């Protein structure tokens, strides 16, 4: 049985840091494996952090063709019918640190970035922190409809026996909020934007659910009417003047994430009302390999 990277499911870590790195040159890509394997400390129980490592899908295919999974890079912006655009800012490697406090993350992330600097340079860094336990900075609970830990592995991981078993695909997207504009709405109007009540996070009844609410634009079903969920681990970021949500979503099929983005952008139907109050600044997909695949990479 293939084993996933544990940090994907490490719920409750209030402090986080995201790094996206670019390999310095295509020739150095092969050295990446060695440099990543030097990162023993963040993988040890005494470090107090979880580390998840992801790779640009096409880079992963190049490095480990036998472990490749069906995924493509975020190499083109997604543009809705009215021109609303989700930018494509694909990078080569993603490091996601989570832990109880920022001091341990800072120390481990510094070591990691320095160790990798021979091979890759940081293109993007963002520090995240949980807000009122599990709320987005709009004040709404984020994660209510998430699968529980009993179901999350099935939703997230490529099944045993399939190519890339134990791996997953992550979507990483920074959204900058315009909270002041959102705060000007009445609570009922805010609830119409999200599709859930603000206090209890109850889904709005069908007769009240607007077709352009965030829930309506992201709830996916297959032809038989069964729900096609994803597993979200998004985190708020920023300061009083500039803040938002670092969206982190996992799925075993990239199509689910991609369809949700297209629907949010208004490619097939109304544009998600939430996009009138928050703007995507980045967008990248990463293959998050199984532990077995990561170890194999170090032997290549």
Within 10 angstroms of residue 103's Cβ, the number of other Cβ atoms is 11
How many residues of this chain bind ligand HEM (CB under 6 A)?
28
The structure tokens listed for 263 are: 């629907």
List the one residue from 136, 191, 192, 212 that touches ligand HEM (CB under 6 A).
136
Q: How many CB atoms lie within 10 A of CB 76?
A: 12
Burial of 281 (0-12, 13-18, 19+ CB in 10 A): middle
Shortest separation between residue 208's beta carbon and ligand HEM, angstroms = 14
**H helix count then E strand count, the chain:** 9, 12
Per-residue interface string for the shown chain with ligand HEM, residues 260-289, x marking contact by CB under 6 A = xx--x---------x---x-----------
Q: Is 173 in the site for ligand HEM (CB under 6 A)?
A: yes
In the complex with ligand HEM, which residue's Cβ is closer, 41 or 232? Answer: 232
Q: What is the per-residue binding string for ligand HEM in 211-250, x denoting contact by CB under 6 A?
A: ---xx--xx----------x--------------x-x-x-
Pairing mode of beta strands 15-23, 49-55: unpaired
In degrees and rounded to multiples of 5, residue 72 shows phi and psi of -120, 165
- Structure letter (DSSP) for residue 142: S
**Nearest residue (CB) to ligand HEM, 42 versus 280:** 280
Supply the angle between the helices 291-299 and 29-37 in degrees, to the nearest 10.
110
List binders of ligand HEM among 243-262 (CB under 6 A): 245, 247, 249, 257, 260-261
- Binding region for ligand HEM (CB under 6 A): 136, 138, 140-145, 171, 173, 175, 194, 196, 201, 214-215, 218-219, 230, 245, 247, 249, 257, 260-261, 264, 274, 278
């Amino acid at each position: 049985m293939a084993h996933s990277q544990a940090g994907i499911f490490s719920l409750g870590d209030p402090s986080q840091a995201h790094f996206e790195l670019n390999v310095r040159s295509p020739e150095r890509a092969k050295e990446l494996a060695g440099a990543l394997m030097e990162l023993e400390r963040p993988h040890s129980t005494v470090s107090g952090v979880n580390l998840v490592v992801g790779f640009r899908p096409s880079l992963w295919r190049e490095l480990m063709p036998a472990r490749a999974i069906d995924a493509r890079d975020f190499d083109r912006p997604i543009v809705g019918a009215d021109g609303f655009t989700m930018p494509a800012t694909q990078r080569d490697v993603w490091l996601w640190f989570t832990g109880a406090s920022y001091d341990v993350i800072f120390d481990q992330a510094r070591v990691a970035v320095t160790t990798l600097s021979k091979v890759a340079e940081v293109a993007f860094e963002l520090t995240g922190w949980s807000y009122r336990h599990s709320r987005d900075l709009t004040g709404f609970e984020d994660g209510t409809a998430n699968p529980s830990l009993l179901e999350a592995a099935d939703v997230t991981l490529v099944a045993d026996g399939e190519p890339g078993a134990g791996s997953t695909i992550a979507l990483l997207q920074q959204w900058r909020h315009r909270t002041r504009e959102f705060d000007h709405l009445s609570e009922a109007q805010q609830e119409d934007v999200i599709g859930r009540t603000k206090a209890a996070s109850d889904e709005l009844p069908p007769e009240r659910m607007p077709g352009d609410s965030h829930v309506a634009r992201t709830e996916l079903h297959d032809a038989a009417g069964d729900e096609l969920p994803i597993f979200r681990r998004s985190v708020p970021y920023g300061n009083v003047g500039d803040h938002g949500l670092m969206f982190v979503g996992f799925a075993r099929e990239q199509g689910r994430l991609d369809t949700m983005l297209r629907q949010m952008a208004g490619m097939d139907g109304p544009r998600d009302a939430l996009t009138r109050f928050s703007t995507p600044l980045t967008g990248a997909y990463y293959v998050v390999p199984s532990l077995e695949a990561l170890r194999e990479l170090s032997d290549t």
